[in-house]
Amino acid sequence: MRVKLNKLSATWKALLAHPEGFCCGDAAYESRKALGRGVIFGYASEENPTAILGHDEGGHDFLVVDEQYILDFWGATYYDYNMQYDLETETKEILWLYGPRKNWKTTPIIGSVLHPVQSARQLACHRAGS
């Protein structure tokens, strides 16, 4: 059964309302925080050259929930792709957008534009549009 996205609507509205926009890491972090579960994965473009998402930004981060679903609010917002993909049934589209799974690494994102870290926001992502 797919992830119920209604738990995420307030979080995603807050990201959309942020005056500086948000990056993929922000979306993954806040989605995991709102759901209370999931693992953030990511890749650098040079380590995953066939992936479409994040190619022009230098890389991409996204949330995997229940080891079966990708949740990607950033990809849906900025590139109009789906917000959710099933790792078991949507393999061709996932391979095209995210590249091979062997190129994904767990990503220790510790904050976002909504919940900044106390340092200079050392998050490994790029602001969309900046």
pLDDT tens for each residue of 2-16: 787 788 889 899 999
Alpha carbon distances (Å) from 25 to 88, 89, 92: 24, 25, 24
Q: What's the CA angle centered on 108, arms 105 and 113, to 5 degrees?
A: 120
pTM: 0.84
3-state helix, strand, coil in the chain (%, to 5): 35, 15, 50
Q: What are the structure tokens assigned to 128, written together?
A: 């969309």
For the segment 53-63, the average pLDDT, to the nearest whole number, is 94
DSSP assignment, residue 124?
S
Q: Which of the two residues, 52 and 21, has the higher pLDDT score?
A: 52
For the segment 33-42, the average pLDDT, to the nearest whole number, is 94
Q: 103: number of CA atoms within 13 Å, CB side?
A: 19
pLDDT tens for each residue of 65-122: 999 999 999 999 999 999 999 999 999 999 999 999 999 999 887 777 676 664 443 4
What does the pLDDT read at residue 1?
Answer: 63
What does the pLDDT read at residue 126?
Answer: 39
Share above pLDDT 70 across residues of the chain, in percent, rounded to a whole number: 85
Share above pLDDT 90 across residues of the chain, in percent, rounded to a whole number: 66
User: Is 97 buried (19+), middle (13-18) or exposed (0-12) by CB count in 10 A?
Assistant: buried
SS3 100: coil
What does the pLDDT read at residue 117?
Answer: 61
